């Protein structure tokens, strides 16, 4: 039988690391950041500042999840490189599409005179 | 397999492969990298076409409910925590803890899906935003629907892993019996999950229409008694399948399978982190 909690505690991953506490603390931090994001959209500041803040918070949450929950921090760097290749290609495609098509692209065809 | 012997397993490196990374993990990271491009296209398409809805179609801000979406986001974040704890548990050989964490992840994933079903229903029948009446609707439903499909596949995968954790040691001798039992277990589990979601969604609708009170509860119980009975029987069935029946063939050696599934589930969460900001929160900035 493989379910020995006593044995399990004796075999943690890294030297002196307790992932349980780390994961719980991270989840709480992510929940707090999400709360701050929701409050941010109602703040009376310039929209560019609010959008930059939201993008920053999203990026922080994203990086926390991939490096800690998804174990990239403990895995070989090749996993990080592989994932970031896809991420940069996806981000590049997004950037290119947003550059190529502006807000006018969403006008209904009839009102755009086409 | 004894846990003491398996304690030496290095879950992050595999010296038998040319890269030093377990092949299954490498496969999953390559798939997730490709999925980044897929979701990148869907999100940017929505960002381009979200403005200027045709006459008669509401703007995104008038349709969205930030309370519901925030709740969904919180639930998905917590499901990610439970998934991480599930991986941690099996890496330590703690199958009981793994099952509890998997069940909680399945529950949170199902709540997220329920919220999405409620949201879509509300958008289509009350806010009159459909997939065909505006390009905003097309891009919104395609993006969030694709994400929801990913969540649904994740819930199915989690359920299969949960059932797999009950495989008895030495089941190879009676492979047919184990497969048949697993299939019945899966059917009972999914039917119970589906019935529970159906009941919660219908109760939410009834409470929305008639208020949350004793009268609504009694009326709901009278109308839906068959589904309630079915769900209770289903829960008892799931509980029966979970009764301890001796040693199982599931331990630290299977941690890579759980970790692979965890990577997929966390990816679904990080995609939602981006969708929450780019699709929902963005609409509330004046």
Interface ipTM: 0.85
Q: What is the pLDDT of residue B15?
A: 77
pLDDT average, residue stretch B189-204: 92
Question: Is residue A109 very low, low, confident or very high in pLDDT (cuts 50, 70, 90)?
Answer: low
For residue A9, give the chain B residue with the closest CA.
Answer: B92
Q: What is the pLDDT of residue B5?
A: 44
Q: What is the pLDDT of residue B104?
A: 96
pLDDT tens figures, B70-119:
999 999 999 999 999 999 999 988 999 999 999 999 999 999 999 999 99
For residues A54 and A59, what is the distance between their CA atoms, to the nearest angstrom?
9
Shortest CA gap A33–chain B (Å):
11
Determine which of B4, B23, B40, B261 to mutate to test the interface with A (most A C-beta atoms within 10 Å): B40
The verdict on a CB contact (< 8 Å) between B3 and A37 is no
* Chain A partners within 8 Å of B269 (Cβ): 65, 69
pLDDT tops 70 at residue B4: no
pLDDT tops 90 at residue B204: no
Q: What is the pLDDT of residue B154?
A: 96
Structural domain includes residue A106: no
Residue A68 lies in domain: 20-98
The verdict on a CB contact (< 8 Å) between A94 and B92 is no
* Chain A partners within 8 Å of B259 (Cβ): 71
* Chain A partners within 8 Å of B47 (Cβ): 94, 98
Shortest CA gap B225–chain A (Å):
37
Q: What is the pLDDT of residue A10?
A: 42
The verdict on a CB contact (< 8 Å) between B135 and A37 is no
CB contacts < 8 A (A, B): 211
Give me the residue spans of the domains in chain B: 21-165+250-286, 174-245
Question: Is residue B12 very low, low, confident or very high in pLDDT (cuts 50, 70, 90)?
Answer: confident
Question: Is residue A114 very low, low, confident or very high in pLDDT (cuts 50, 70, 90)?
Answer: very low
The verdict on a CB contact (< 8 Å) between A90 and B92 is no
Task: Tell me how many domains chain A contains.
Answer: 1
Question: Is residue B8 very low, low, confident or very high in pLDDT (cuts 50, 70, 90)?
Answer: low
pLDDT tops 70 at residue A47: yes
Structural domain includes residue A79: yes
Structural domain includes residue A107: no
- More confident call, A59 vs B7: A59
pLDDT tops 50 at residue A15: no
For residue A44, give the chain B residue with the closest CA.
Answer: B286
pLDDT tens figures, A66-106:
999 998 998 889 999 999 999 999 999 988 988 888 767 76
pLDDT tops 70 at residue A9: no
Share of chain B above pLDDT 90, in %: 56
For residue B285, give the chain A residue with the closest CA.
Answer: A41
Structural domain includes residue A1: no
Averaged confidence pLDDT in chain B: 88
Share of chain B above pLDDT 70, in %: 97
Nearest CB to A30 within list B2, B38, B77 = B77
The verdict on a CB contact (< 8 Å) between B281 and A71 is no
pLDDT tens figures, B210-223:
777 888 888 888 88
Determine which of A33, A90, A113 to mutate to test the interface with B (most B C-beta atoms within 10 Å): A90
B15-48 as b/e, with b when 16 or more CB fall inside 10 Å?
Answer: eeeeeebbeebbebbeebbebbbebbebbbbbbb
The verdict on a CB contact (< 8 Å) between A90 and B77 is no
pLDDT tops 80 at residue B11: no
Among the ranges B47-61, B75-89, B117-131, B158-172, which has the highest mean pLDDT value?
B75-89
Q: What is the pLDDT of residue B195?
A: 93
Full 3-state SS string of chain B: CCHHHHCCCCCCCCCCCCCCCCHHHHHHHHHHHHHHHHHHHHHHHHHHHCCCCCCCCCCHHHHCCHHHHHHHHHHHHHHHHHHHHHHHHHHCCCHHHHHHHHHHHHHHHHHHHHHHHHHHHHHHHCCCCCCCCCHHHHHHHHHHHHHHHHHHHHHHHHHHHHHHCCCECCHHHHHHHHHHHHHHHHHHHHHHHHHHHHHHHHHHHHHHHHCCCHHHHHHHHHHCHHHHHHHHHHHHHHHHHCCCCCCECCCHHHHHHHHHHHHHHHHHHHHHHHHHHHHHHHHHCC
The verdict on a CB contact (< 8 Å) between A11 and B3 is yes
pLDDT tops 90 at residue B14: no
pLDDT tops 50 at residue B277: yes
Question: Is residue A17 very low, low, confident or very high in pLDDT (cuts 50, 70, 90)?
Answer: low
Shortest CA gap B229–chain A (Å):
34
Where does B21-165+250-286 sit in CATH, by number?
Answer: 1.20.120.80
Shortest CA gap A39–chain B (Å):
10
For residue A106, give the chain B residue with the closest CA.
Answer: B49
pLDDT tops 60 at residue A1: no
The verdict on a CB contact (< 8 Å) between B93 and A4 is yes
pLDDT tops 50 at residue B265: yes
Among the ranges B170-174, B200-204, B236-240, which has the highest mean pLDDT value?
B236-240
């Amino acid at each position: 039988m493989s379910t020995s909690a006593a044995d399990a505690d004796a075999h943690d991953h890294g030297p002196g690391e307790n992932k349980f506490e780390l994961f719980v603390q991270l989840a709480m931090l992510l929940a707090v950041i999400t709360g701050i994001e929701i409050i941010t959209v109602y703040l009376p500041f310039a929209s560019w500042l609010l959008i930059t803040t939201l993008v920053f918070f999203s990026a922080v949450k994203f990086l926390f999840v991939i490096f800690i929950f998804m174990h990239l921090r403990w895995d070989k760097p090749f996993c990080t490189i592989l994932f970031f290749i896809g991420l940069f290609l996806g981000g590049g495609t997004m950037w290119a599409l947003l550059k190529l098509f502006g807000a006018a692209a969403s006008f209904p065809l009839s009102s755009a005179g086409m | 397999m004894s846990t003491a012997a398996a304690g030496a397993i290095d879950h992050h490196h595999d010296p038998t492969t040319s890269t030093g990374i377990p092949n299954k993990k490498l496969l999953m990271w390559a798939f997730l990298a490709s999925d980044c491009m897929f979701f990148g296209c869907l999100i940017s398409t929505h960002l381009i076409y979200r403005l200027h809805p045709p006459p008669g179609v509401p703007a995104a801000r008038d349709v969205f409910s930030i309370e519901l979406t925030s709740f969904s986001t919180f639930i998905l974040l917590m499901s990610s925590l439970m998934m991480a704890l599930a991986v941690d548990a099996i890496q330590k050989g703690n199958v009981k803890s793994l099952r509890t964490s998997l069940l909680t992840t399945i529950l949170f994933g199902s709540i997220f899906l329920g919220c999405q079903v409620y949201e879509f229903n509300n958008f289509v029948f009350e806010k009159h935003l459909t997939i065909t009446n505006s390009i905003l609707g097309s891009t919104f439903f395609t993006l969030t629907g694709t994400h929801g499909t990913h969540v649904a596949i994740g819930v199915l995968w989690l359920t299969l892993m949960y059932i797999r954790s009950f495989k008895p040691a030495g089941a190879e001798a009676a492979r047919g019996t184990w497969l048949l039992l697993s299939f019945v277990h899966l059917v009972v589990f999914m039917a119970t999950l589906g019935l529970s979601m159906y009941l919660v969604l219908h109760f939410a609708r009834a409470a929305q229409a008639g208020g949350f009170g004793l009268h609504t509860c009694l009326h709901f119980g009278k109308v839906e008694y068959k589904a309630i009975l079915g769900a209770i029987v289903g829960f008892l069935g799931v509980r029966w399948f979970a009764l301890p029946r001796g040693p199982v063939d599931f331990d630290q050696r299977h941690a890579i399978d759980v970790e692979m599934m965890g990577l997929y589930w966390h990816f679904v969460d990080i995609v939602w982190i981006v969708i929450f900001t780019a699709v929902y929160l963005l609409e509330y900035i004046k």
